[in-house]
Amino acid sequence: MNTGAIFKNENKKAENHPDYKGKVNVNGKEMEVALWLKTSAKGLKFFSASFSEPYIKIEPQIQNNEPQIKEYGDANDDLPF
C-alpha cells in the first residue's frame, strides 16, 4: 500500500505523451501516474504529474441481429400484412 513504480516511457511518439509512466497504490486504490519532465521559467527542472484511474478496455458486446419471427397460428392473431 502507498507504493508504486514509474518507468521511462519507451513508446513516447508525440511531445504531449508523458516522459515517464507507472502504477501506484494510494490508500489501497490502484492509480496510473504520468510524468512530464519540464523546465521552469527560472531554468529549474521539475516533473509535472497526472494521476488517473487505470485504463480498462471495454470489449464491444455482440448483439444478436437475427430477425425476430412472430408465428401466426392462432385465429385471434393479427394478419401479418
- Whether the pLDDT of residue 60 is over 60: the answer is yes
Question: What is the number of structural domains in the chain?
Answer: 1
The tens digit of pLDDT for each residue in 24-42 reads 999 999 999 999 999 999 9
Residue 39's Cα: distance from chain center in Å? 29
Q: Is residue 61 part of a domain?
A: no
- Whether the pLDDT of residue 76 is over 70: the answer is no
- The residue segments making up the domain with residue 30 are 4-52
57 class by beta-carbon count within 10 Å (0-12 exposed, 13-18 middle, 19+ buried): exposed
- Whether the pLDDT of residue 7 is over 60: the answer is yes
- Percent of the chain topping pLDDT 90: 60
Q: Is residue 72 part of a domain?
A: no
Evaluate whether 32 touches 4 at the Cβ level (below 8 Å).
no
